[in-house]
């Protein structure tokens, strides 16, 4: 009985981790796109590098920490 409780807690933790890292990944995309919306592309190279790097790191962490999220997506369910 104890093992089932730990498994459920682990699934909830993975789900929360997936959600948080997804939000952070999209935040990195927003930081990347900020210079385009601000109209200062030449001065926004740093924003673009940081945003792209942050999005990639969060995406890889999301894939690694949620175990199996990088695999094939089953046809019967969606990730969103």
Domain ranges of the chain: 2-65
Q: In the structure, what pLDDT confidence band is assigned to residue 67 with cuts at 50, 70 and 90? A: low
pLDDT single digits (tens) 11-46:
778 888 888 988 999 999 998 888 888 877 777 888
pLDDT digits (tens, 9 = 90+) for 38-62: 877 777 888 888 889 999 998 888 8
Per-residue H/E/C for the chain: CHHHHHHHHHHHHHHHHHHHHHHHHHHHHHHHHHHHHHCCCCCCHHHHHHHHHHHHHHHHHHHHHCCCCCCCCCCCCCCC
pLDDT at 1 (0 to 100): 46
């Amino acid at each position: 009985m104890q093992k089932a409780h730990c498994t459920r807690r682990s699934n909830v933790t993975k789900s929360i981790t997936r959600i948080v890292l997804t939000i952070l990944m999209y935040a990195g995309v927003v930081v990347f796109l900020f210079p385009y919306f601000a109209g200062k592309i030449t001065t926004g190279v740093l924003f673009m590098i940081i945003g792209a790097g942050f999005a990639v790191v969060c995406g890889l962490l999301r894939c690694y920490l949620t175990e199996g999220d990088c695999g094939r997506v089953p046809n019967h369910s969606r990730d969103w």
